Amino acid sequence: MNELGRLEDLPAAYRAALTASNLVPLWPNLRGVLPPTVPTRRTRPTCWPYAQIRPLLLQAGELTPIEKAERRVLVLANPGHGLENMQASAAMYLGMQLLLPGEWAPAHRHTPNAVRLIVEGESAYTTVGGEKCVMQRGDLILTPTGQWHEHGHDGDQPVVWLDVLDLPLVYYLEASYHVDGPRQAIKPERGDLVYARGGMVPSVDFERAAKPYPMLRYPWVEARAALVALAGNQPNLQSVQITYTSPETGGDAQNILGFYAQMLRPGQSLRLPARSPAMVFHLIEGAAEVLIDGKVFPLGEADTCCAPGYTAVTLSNRSADVPSFFFFADESPLHRKLGVYENRG
């Protein structure tokens, strides 16, 4: 490969003339934007133990009333992107949100897509497009782009959930904005009950593909049961993983980020191939270890970590007796749509 000319090789007067005309020579910058073989990734392998987040989040509950926060969130920021940019990866934002008993986070809608993965607590709910979604540990709740959403809490203990948004991407596209709205009227329909079991749908008062996001709440009891059934059905299956999909299209549940649940059998280690999208791992149940680029992160329940793209990751179950269960998020729907998706094995 040729050494390319540097900026310093050019006469100062010529550089000044370029700058004055808003012009930049490509050749000093070409290798930077097109590095050989592997992209430059700012995303660093990073772990956010819940034991560190939880006391600080509860302290935020004392320091900042919900009215002063709208959403009381500590953002899981990847230092490789600069903490102030609030990015876990190029396209993913992660935050831990606290709602205290009796609090209400008012309705708004925005262009970024969100999902919530419930971490702890009972009796909170989020209303999305008029559908009241109860929050139970491990549940995945979609808040697709443009849908009104607000959160309430009828219980007596703090509720915490993990927010995953495609905010960094939508912000980069200069397409990120929000609109405030009034409290939503709650509609009686519930997608998680309409589509309560695979292969069975209502025969009456039901129109196929009537909504782009027919199912908003994916209960953890169902996801866990699906993983246990899959593992039992295929004892030799290495990767016991499910993808959260639309029950109408069978495609990814949302357009930009992908969501998955993974079971590791007792004592199992699983190497995930090096693929182009960055990934986020959140342990729902058990004790595990995540090896990313030579760094080992032991994960306990509710711990979260992220891995850059083009990097193989090895997940291990630290228990020889019981399975462990993960929630994953990744950027693969986006990479596939853009045509840049790669699996390098």
Nearer to ligand 1HN, 109 or 224 (CB): 109
Closest separation in Å from C-beta 167 to ligand 1HN? 5
Q: What is the bridge-based pairing of β-strands 131-134 and 104-110? A: unpaired
Query: DSSP letter at 140?
Result: E
Q: What is the DSSP string of 268-282?
A: -EEEEP-BSS-EEEE
Closest separation in Å from C-beta 156 to ligand 1HN? 21
Sign of the CA dihedral with 95 first, then 300, 277, and 82 last:
positive
Closest separation in Å from C-beta 257 to ligand 1HN? 14
Nearer to ligand 1HN, 165 or 227 (CB): 165
- Long-range contacts of the stretch 336-345 (C-beta < 8 A, 24+): 337/255, 340/276, 341/275, 341/276, 341/277, 342/275, 342/276, 342/310, 343/273, 343/274, 343/275, 343/276, 344/273, 344/274, 344/275, 344/310, 345/273, 345/274
Closest separation in Å from C-beta 145 to ligand 1HN? 11
Closest separation in Å from C-beta 13 to ligand 1HN? 46
Closest separation in Å from C-beta 114 to ligand 1HN? 6
Nearer to ligand 1HN, 71 or 265 (CB): 71
Binding region for ligand 1HN (CB under 6 A): 71, 73, 95, 97, 110, 114, 149, 163, 165, 167
69: its two tokens: 């926060």
Nearer to ligand 1HN, 35 or 181 (CB): 181
CB atoms within 10 A of CB 121: 21
Max CA distance (Å), the chain: 77
Nearer to ligand 1HN, 124 or 290 (CB): 124
Report the C-alpha gap between 202 and 194 in whole angstroms: 7
Closest separation in Å from C-beta 113 to ligand 1HN? 10
Rg (CA), the chain: 22
Nearer to ligand 1HN, 110 or 335 (CB): 110
Sequence-ordered list of residues with C-beta below 8 angstroms from that of 266, at least 6 positions apart, any chain: 317, 319, 320, 321, 322, 323
Contact 288, 227 (CB under 8 A): no
Nearer to ligand 1HN, 71 or 211 (CB): 71
